[in-house]
Structures are given as C-alpha cells and as structure tokens.
Amino acid sequence: MTGYMAEMRKLVGHRTIIQCAASIIPVDNAGRVLLGKRSDNHLWGYSGGAAEIDEDAEECAKRELLEEMGLEAKTLEFFCVNSGPQTHYIYPNGDEVSNFEIVYLCRDWTGTPAITDGEMEELRFFSREEIDLSMISPPIREVMRKFISEC
C-alpha cells in the first residue's frame, strides 16, 4: 500500500476508513469479464483501488487497471456506485474499510492481461455463466450480481 491510504493507516492503524475508490470491469469482445484472483483473500475481483488526493475518478480507475492487470483503458462507461453496509470489509491484515466505489465498464482497452503489481495471483476471463458469487471478494459481490444480470 502506498500513497494516501498508507499515510492514513499510519494515523489510524486498523480502524475503519471510508475508502473512496474507482474500479473497472474489463469486458472483451466475447462479453467475458477479466477478473483477478486477489493475493490477500484468494477470491476473485475486478481491478480497482483507492483514489489519491485530488485524483479524478476515471484516472484512478485507469491507473488501477494498468497497475493490476496491465491493460490501458481507452473509453469508460459508468456502471454503478457501490456503497453501503455490504461494502464494509476487514482485509486479512486487519485493516477495516467502508467502501464508496465508482465502477466503470471498459470494452475499449489495449494490452495483454498481465500480473504487474503483486495484488493479483492469477488473471482469467470469465463468461457470466462461469461466475459463482461465492468466488467473488465480498465487498464487490453486489456489483458482480448486477453485472451478471444486466450486462
């Protein structure tokens, strides 16, 4: 962890932080979604992370996609805001967050999926039918439920 969230953790330890984040669900030409198996909880999720001070939400989402999956996002499409009690999460290291996340879809990206920063241990494309919500990281399950039913 670096940047703003690392500085906040120095101040508050493991106590709950409201985490403002932006994320991208990358979708390929066949309608499959690229997910990464997280190295912290070993569950699947899309790319995303906390915004830095004064960072634009779309730029945050694009930065996270590049850092975590090696893809460069071109055009983003607003998908939803993920917030509320279902986004309250305690990471395996004890850090606690209440997420407020802006989620985008991206069908217009370049690059080859690659693990680049150690936050993911595996990357894989899934069809909607292959996604079992029990394999998805808890704070984003509602987003993936929405994706499965609407996209």
* Two tokens, residue 26: 């990358």
- Whether 90 is in a domain gets the answer yes
- Whether 3 is in a domain gets the answer no
φ and ψ of 111, to 5 deg: 110, 175
- Whether 112 is in a domain gets the answer yes
- Whether 104 is in a domain gets the answer yes
Count up the domains in the chain and report the number: 1
CATH, residue 145: 3.90.79.10
pLDDT tens per residue across span 37-96: 999 999 999 999 999 999 999 999 999 999 999 999 999 999 999 999 999 999 999 999
Q: Is pTM, for the whole model, over 0.85?
A: yes
Angle ∠(56,32,45) on CA atoms, nearest 5: 55
- Whether 68 is in a domain gets the answer yes
pLDDT of residue 134: 98
pLDDT tens per residue across span 95-149: 999 999 999 999 999 999 999 888 999 999 999 999 999 999 999 999 999 999 9
- Whether 145 is in a domain gets the answer yes
pLDDT tens per residue across span 85-108: 999 999 999 999 999 999 999 999
The answer to whether 103 and 7 have CB atoms below 8 angstroms apart is: no
Max alpha carbon distance in the chain (Å)? 45
- Whether 121 is in a domain gets the answer yes
- Whether 8 is in a domain gets the answer no
Domain span holding position 85: 26-150
Rg, the chain, Cα only: 14
